[in-house]
Amino acid sequence: MASLRPLLFAFALALLAAAAVSARYVKQLDVDVDTPVYRVPDDVPLHDESLRYVLRWAGVPVAGASVTFEPAVGGDGLDFDVSGATHPALDWLFPYRFWGAGHLNTSPLRPDRFVVDECTWQEHDRTEIRFPADASPIRGLRHRRGRWKQYEFHSDNTYDIPSAAYLLMNVDYAPGAVFELDTFTGKSRYLLRATVAGRERVRAASADRDAWRLRLETRELTDDDPDGRHRETDVWVSPERPRRLLYASSKTFVGAITLELAGEGAATPSGAPPEAVGAP
């Protein structure tokens, strides 16, 4: 079920702690990468919305996920939260849950913070990311198996997964256009390359819909292998702004994994987001 995460986190993963870490492990993630600076059009509306998704493996439902967006109260940008869980019928084999919450600034677009909790049978892992407004390093903090690890680097053009997704779904498209983003997951940096394939019809939320299809490819920038690891995913997004992810498909060695929009509606309160606690 490890292949569950890339698609579920086609929305988002990771917050950072600015707190000093007493966790004995700090890894520098500075790499030589040069990516263009992109701008989201000023007329993209901020909106309250909740989207529900179903994830299938070889056509069989294995998990569900939801994403909620709300304009930040008294400030710039969007607050969002994400959650997901394996299907109840699979919980005896591999119970997996995740909850995430964060904020991104939109004028101009700039990632701010994101935190994710993941739970399986006996593990509860946490990832925190924070993008400072000053010249301090971007920091990722990971808690796994009772140990905190910190990752940090300097960059003025790096995104977390939620802000990268927001950017890619709201820039201007043209067939053949290519976008490249330096993306941080909390412990690794990836070069995300998105190529606009064109307009197609896709089935989502029990209806045939017009959509843009994008081919996503990722390559790890901080892996010891200079070629990194490559993954490919096709995503279909609605043509009107604010765009929505309608469908996604990725071929893996265990079969095809798909993510489909199942429902949409007004945002509903989901409780307080996880707090960024940092290392003890």
Per DSSP, the residues of 141-161 read EEEETTEEEEEEE--SSEEEH
The CA distance from 190 to 183, in Å, is: 5
Q: Phi first, then psi: what are they for 167, rounded to 5°?
A: -65, -50
pLDDT of residue 115: 96
Residue environment code for 156-190, b if the CB has 16+ CB neighbours within 10 A, otherwise e: eebbbbbbbbbbbbbbebeeeeebbbbbbbbbbbb
d(CA 165, CA 156): 18
pLDDT at 270 over 70: no
Q: Quick one: pLDDT at residue 246?
A: 97
Strands 26-28 and 147-153: parallel
Residue 101 exposed, middle or buried by CB count within 10 Å (0-12, 13-18, 19+): buried
Burial (0-12, 13-18, 19+ Cβ within 10 Å), 209: middle
Residue 3 has pLDDT above 70, yes or no: no
What are the C-alpha distances in Å from 71 to residues 66, 233, 270? 17, 29, 14
Reported residue count of the chain is 280
Task: Specify the range with the lowest mean pLDDT, choosing from 57-71, 74-88, 212-226, 257-271.
Answer: 257-271
pLDDT digits (tens, 9 = 90+) for 168-188: 999 999 999 999 999 999 999
- What the block records as the tokens of 161 is 């997964």
Asked whether the beta carbons of 158 and 141 are under 8 A apart, the reply is no
Would the pTM count as exceeding 0.85?
no
Q: Is 155 exposed, middle or buried (0-12, 13-18, 19+ CB in 10 A)?
A: middle
Q: CB 264: neighbour CB atoms within 10 A? A: 13
What mean pLDDT is predicted for residues 68-76? 84
Q: Which two tokens stand for residue 122?
A: 């006996």
pLDDT value at residue 73: 82
Start-end of H helices in the chain: 4-8, 161-168
For residue 74, is pLDDT > 80?
Answer: no
In percent, the amount of the chain with pLDDT more than 90 equals: 58
